Amino acid sequence: MWPAMWRFLGALITLAALVGLVILAWPQLAGLETTWVIAQAVALRTVIGLGAVAAAIAFLVLCLAKPLRGFAGSLALLFLLFAATNAVIVSLRGLDTNTTVETSDEDVTVLSWNTLGDEPGADMIAQLAADADADIVTLPETTKQAGIDIAVAMREAGHPMWVHTVAFDDVAKARSTTVLVSPDLGDYHQVSTNADRAQNTAVLPSVVLDPVNGDGPRIVAVHAVAPTSSQMDNWRADLSWIAAQCATDNVIMAGDFNATVDHMAGLGEGDGTLGRCSDAASQAGSGAVGTWSTAWPALLGTPIDHVMATNAWTVSGFRVVTELDGSGSDHRPIIAQLHPRADS
């Protein structure tokens, strides 16, 4: 009786492990990608993949005990398959930190950096933007004054920029988002305002800019709230709102989405990752490189900062900047090079 009961219990545990690992490997199958705990786990694909390898080794050791051989061997196989699945997904999204190339005059270069409240300083941010020859700079958690200081420094370096900021309040710098736009892209007016919080991300502000004459891309500087236990509803609402900003033919979005492409399943339109916008990093072979946190190696982090664009643009290069991990921010800057599609 007891051996049969143990075999039954072992089968139940194995079945539960199989279901759990399938959900962790591809939560989109069950629509659980934005569910508390699962959302946090899938954000760290490389970490949970390495954890699965460690678990598989532990169960292989248990196979040395003859009574546990079948049970432990089954679990070891499941964890190895899970690790291999994650490795394939990560490899397909790409682990190249830098695929940037020489750009042409018609290209648009986008830099995004969550500065953790202006921490790197205006000079460092301006230097990075000028060196990248950035046309659009989106800066979550960056105040208007810091944006002005960055623009002044960039102007002195031969890269003039217009500054737009939305600040929900002055209590915390995280409640501000700033975007700089090159005059070469034309004149832009700010759609989002400090007062109109109903038409914005829920907790932390985003900035929406439209071209004055209608010629040029809509520019969206994104800052979604982090998916903590108390903010899950706001986080899901933020992703839906951001997707709605990319509903036209010509849009460029960049910033701290606090979400990986896994979390965006079901929010894309057509071939888009989020709305009609597609993830530039994934297209350039850098989609699995971690942008947060700088306390971890880039290949162990989570890619939650993105540049996205509609089919009006092709991605010619992408870079996750790892050289500034000691700058004070917990996010890495990202740079995307976009080329206008000839048939758009």
What tens digit of pLDDT does each residue of 42-66 get? 999 999 999 999 999 999 999 988 8
Which neighbouring-strand residues pair with 302?
Answer: 292
Q: Which pLDDT value is given to residue 1?
A: 47
Place 38 in a pLDDT band, splitting at 50, 70 and 90: very high
Q: Which pLDDT value is given to residue 192?
A: 75
- Comparing C-alpha atoms, which of 340, 299, 337, 276 is closest to residue 111? 337
Supply the mean pLDDT for the chain.
95
- Three-state DSSP class for 98? strand
Rounded-to-integer distance, Cα 237 and Cα 138, Å: 21
| Domain assignment present for 128 | yes
Same domain, 74 and 139: no
Q: Which pLDDT value is given to residue 332?
A: 98
pLDDT tens digits for 238-262? 999 999 999 999 999 999 999 999 9
Q: Which pLDDT value is given to residue 129?
A: 98
CA distances from 132 to 111, 128, 191 (A): 8, 6, 27
Query: pLDDT above 90 covers what percent of the chain?
Result: 89
Q: Which pLDDT value is given to residue 344?
A: 56
pLDDT of 285 above 70: yes
Rounded-to-integer distance, Cα 11 and Cα 7, Å: 6
Rounded-to-integer distance, Cα 255 and Cα 112, Å: 6
Calculate mean pLDDT across residues 73-82: 97
- Three-state DSSP class for 161? coil
Rounded-to-integer distance, Cα 169 and Cα 162, Å: 22
Same domain, 48 and 120: no
What is the extent of the structural domain holding 33? 2-93
| Domain assignment present for 219 | yes
Number of domains in the chain: 2
pLDDT of 197 above 90: no
Rounded-to-integer distance, Cα 258 and Cα 238, Å: 10
| φ and ψ of 318, to 5 deg | -150, 150
